[in-house]
Amino acid sequence: MKIKFLLLFLFIISYVNSQDKKTIYNPTDDAQKKIDSCIVEAKKEKKFILLQIGGNWCIWCIRFHKLTQDNYDIRNSLMNNFIVYHLNYSKENKNEAILAKLGFPQRFGFPVFVILNENGERIHTQQSDFLEDNNSGYDLKKVEKFLLNWSPKALDPNTYN
């Protein structure tokens, strides 16, 4: 009985650890092709593109991703307004050419968020620490406001007629 309990315990521990190590950023992606694909999809769906730039090594990148998956309102806001791509920045692949085209957003640290319009033009770069809550996590209201203020509807002049 003790051996069965021990094996079950080890299985649970290994399962939980494997869940924490899911790959969010893919260093082997052809990032420009992925972004081009996002542009096609954004035009078709009348959405903007949210580039979350960071790496699997970055705890704040993982926390933001987890928030976007676990919080219903934020997940909905993203799904309704944005095509999301996790642009890798790591020692394996820094995607320097793309970051140069985006105005060197890495200067703000990681994660950093770049919003492109449906034509792939950069319209905003957001430093992530402005979305945090006293270094304990992300502030839900700040994140919701950020997503709302940079949504296609917010930037549509017809919204204000």
At residue 134 the predicted structure's pLDDT band, cuts being 50, 70 and 90, is confident
Question: Please, what are the domains in the chain?
Answer: 23-155 (3.40.30.10)
Does position 27 have pLDDT exceeding 70, yes or no?
yes
pLDDT at 101: 97
Which contacts of 4-7 are long-range, i.e. CB under 8 A and separated by 24 or more positions? none
CA dist 23 and 30 (Å) reads 16
> Could you tell me the pTM of the whole model?
0.85
At residue 2 the predicted structure's pLDDT band, cuts being 50, 70 and 90, is low
At residue 15 the predicted structure's pLDDT band, cuts being 50, 70 and 90, is very low
pLDDT at 10: 47
Question: pLDDT tens digits, residue range 58-89?
Answer: 999 999 999 999 999 999 999 999 999 999 99
CA dist 64 and 47 (Å) reads 20
Residue 92 Cα distances to 56, 63, 87, 96, 159, angstroms = 11, 21, 13, 12, 43
